[in-house]
Amino acid sequence: MTPDSLPKQDDEQAVPRPEITDPADERAPVDPALFEQVAAEPPFTRAVTATPLHLETAGESHTNRWVTWNGYTVPEVLSDLTDEYRALRGSAVLMDVSPLVKYRIAGRDALAYLERLAAQPVAPLAAGHAQHVIFCEGGGFVLGDGMLFRLADDEYRLVTEETHLAWLADSAEGFRVRVEDVSATLGVLSLQGPLSCFMLTEIGVDEAAALEPGAARWVSIGGMPVYLSRTGATGDLGYELWCDAEDAPHVWRAVMSTGQPFGLRPAGFALRELARLEAGHPRAGHDYLSAFAAIEPRDMLPPAAIWPDFSIAASKGLFNGGAALRAAAHIAPSRRVVRLAVEGLEPVRFAAVSLGGKVAGIATSTGFSPALGANIALAILDTGALAPAGLAVLAERRDGLSIVETRLPARILAEPAFSHPRRMMVPAPSRA
């Protein structure tokens, strides 16, 4: 090809053309400017990326301990993990979970698109309800999981731990649907604990008690519109409050001031992790890897390896990864995510899980569960090691300037370490 024979318009690729989007045309590409965070400063200068609730949580922090979650700086512990835990199980806690990734999926084909994307049937999901969804790549390996909210007939919100925009956009090919990352526009508060419904009622949200698990509706808190859903991964009664990023601090203050007399405490990321671990929910990117992030092919897992009760519903039609999953339905996955309980009464650190002296897996999340009075973990084990007895972990404890290594017996938990029947009660208990 000589320089002259190259078509001139090739160069136009480089010129950013303004995307013209017609709101009526659902196939039109998303206008990127709409939800773009205006990043005036270059990425490397930004050490702290704040959530809409940053000032509120910073004001509550007595420890100045922070962690990075999804690129956002969030408090790890605000006062004391034990106190925060006591509030979670005895009263209620309020947490900032805004770093969750939120996608708005809307359009005439939204349902058809989501049926194709998710491994579970989503057609039965009614507007104003949420369900857990898993989505896989073409080979039947899990990319991620999340909560899918049906906001209206043709409008959904998908909430995930990690970003999936490239996959969501790739899968949208041929569907009249828009996929937008709306993470930055929403503040999310998580109100969890036995008194959470009571506190909402105190604020004046009388609808809270009638909400079924997984249901959601618009309410007003302190005059601000809040989308209230009965969700949260703590194994107990709990709600999540979805509101405009600008409103989030006001909602936070309204909930805090009402709840404080009844024992409501703000809590950080460490408590969220502990509660999730007790409730037995694996976290994407931590307890399992997205197939797109798994460098080692054996780290790619099918859904049944992570969620043992997963099976393809008889009513489920075509979906991404479905053919591969159906073809491999009779083959047991070679590794599984399991819940472990480790003997011993004090908190210990461990990673390797062994069976008969041979390493059979790795504990990905560990923590001391006050509910069970034992160390618990989520671990990935080789299927051959799913023995009823003989599992052990090698715990490391620092004693002065030496390391004490102890081999502690471990067992697989059939039930989550914490799961309260209150979680499923309708109407939710709203008395203190």
Partner 1 sequence: MERHDAIVIGAGLNGLVAAAYLARAGLDVLVLDRASAPGGIAMPYEIAPGFLLPRYALGSGGLPPRIAADLDLGRHGLRFIRADGGVTCFADGHYVANYRDGVVHRRELARHSRRDADAWTRYRRDMLRAARGLAPLLARPATGPARGLFAGLRARLSLADRLAELAPSGMADMLRLWTLPAAEFLDQYFESPHVKAHLCAAALMGGTLGPFSPMSASRLVWPWLSEAGGAMGGAPDTLMPQGGTAALVAALMTAIRAEGSAIRLEAEVTDILVKDRKVRGVELANGEAIAADVVISGLDVKRSFLSLFRWKDLPAGLVERVGRVRMRGVAAKVNMALDALPEFPGLPEGCPSIGGGLRLAGTIPAMERAFADWRDRIPPRDPLIDVLIPSIADPSLAPPGKHLLSAFVQFVPEELHDGPWTDESRDALRDLVTARLASVSPGIETRILACEVLLPGDIENEIGLTGGDLAYGETTLDQLFANRPFPGAGGAATPLRNFYLCSPSAHPGPFVMGGPGANAAAEVLSTRKGRG
Q: How far is the CB of 316 from partner 1 (least distance, A)?
A: 24
Query: Applying CB under 8 A, which part among 259-267, 271-279, 286-294, 364-372 lies near partner 1?
Result: 286-294
Among 18, 23, 43, 261, binds partner 1 (CB under 8 A): 43
293 binds partner 1 (CB under 8 A): yes
Greatest alpha-carbon span in the chain: 81
Q: How far is the CB of 43 from partner 1 (least distance, A)?
A: 4
The torsion angle over the Cα atoms of residues 67, 71, 72 and 78, rounded to 10 degrees, is: -10
* Amino acid code (one letter) for 263: G
Among 2, 18, 261, 346, binds partner 1 (CB under 8 A): 2
Query: Applying CB under 8 A, which part among 1-9, 205-213, 247-255, 340-348 lies near partner 1?
Result: 1-9
For strand 101-106 and strand 178-181, is the pairing parallel, antiparallel, or unpaired? antiparallel
Rounded Cα–Cα distance for residues 424 and 416 (Å): 15
Give the Å distances, CA to CA, from 420 to 130, 299, 425, 426. Answer: 20, 33, 10, 13
What is the number of H-type helices and E-type strands within the chain? 9, 19
Number of residues that bind partner 1 (CB under 8 A): 34
Among 17, 20, 23, 41, binds partner 1 (CB under 8 A): 41
139 binds partner 1 (CB under 8 A): yes
Q: How far is the CB of 396 from partner 1 (least distance, A)?
A: 23
Please, what sign has the CA dihedral across residues 299, 302, 303, 308? Answer: negative
Residue 136, Cβ neighbours under 10 Å: how many? 26
Element (H, E) at 277: helix 269-279
42 binds partner 1 (CB under 8 A): yes
Q: How far is the CB of 155 from partner 1 (least distance, A)?
A: 20
Tokens of 228: 């209230």
Q: In what order do the strands lie in the sheet with 129-136?
A: 129-136, 142-152, 155-160, 101-106, 178-181
- Binding pattern to partner 1, positions 153-192, x when CB under 8 A? ----------xxxxx-x-----------x-----------
Which lies closer to partner 1 via its Cβ, residue 1 or residue 318? 1
Which lies closer to partner 1 via its Cβ, residue 139 or residue 390? 139
Among 19, 62, 71, 80, binds partner 1 (CB under 8 A): 71
Q: How far is the CB of 245 from partner 1 (least distance, A)?
A: 17
Of 423, 89, 416, which Cα lies nearest the Cα of 267? 89
Which lies closer to partner 1 via its Cβ, residue 16 or residue 421? 16
Rounded Cα–Cα distance for residues 186 and 37 (Å): 12
Q: How far is the CB of 61 from partner 1 (least distance, A)?
A: 22
Q: How far is the CB of 167 from partner 1 (least distance, A)?
A: 8
46 binds partner 1 (CB under 8 A): yes
Query: 3-state DSSP call for residue 146?
Result: strand
Query: Applying CB under 8 A, which part among 31-39, 57-65, 86-94, 393-401 lies near partner 1?
Result: 31-39
Q: Are 227 and 200 in contact (CB under 8 A)?
A: no
Rounded Cα–Cα distance for residues 215 and 197 (Å): 14
Cα–Cα–Cα angle for 407, 408, 411, rounded to 5 degrees: 135
Which lies closer to partner 1 via its Cβ, residue 286 or residue 397? 286
The residue written with tokens 């006001």 in the block is 250
- Binding pattern to partner 1, positions 368-397, x when CB under 8 A? ------------------------------
| Helices 248-259 + 196-203 axis angle, to 10 | 110
DSSP3 helix / strand / coil % (the chain, rounded to 5)? 25, 35, 45
Q: How far is the CB of 381 from partner 1 (least distance, A)?
A: 23
322 binds partner 1 (CB under 8 A): no
Which lies closer to partner 1 via its Cβ, residue 46 or residue 62? 46
Rounded Cα–Cα distance for residues 416 and 338 (Å): 10
294 binds partner 1 (CB under 8 A): yes
Which lies closer to partner 1 via its Cβ, residue 245 or residue 294? 294
The residues that touch partner 1, with contacts defined as CB under 8 A, are 1-3, 6, 10-11, 13-15, 32, 36, 39, 41-46, 68, 71, 139, 163-167, 169, 181, 290, 292-295, 297
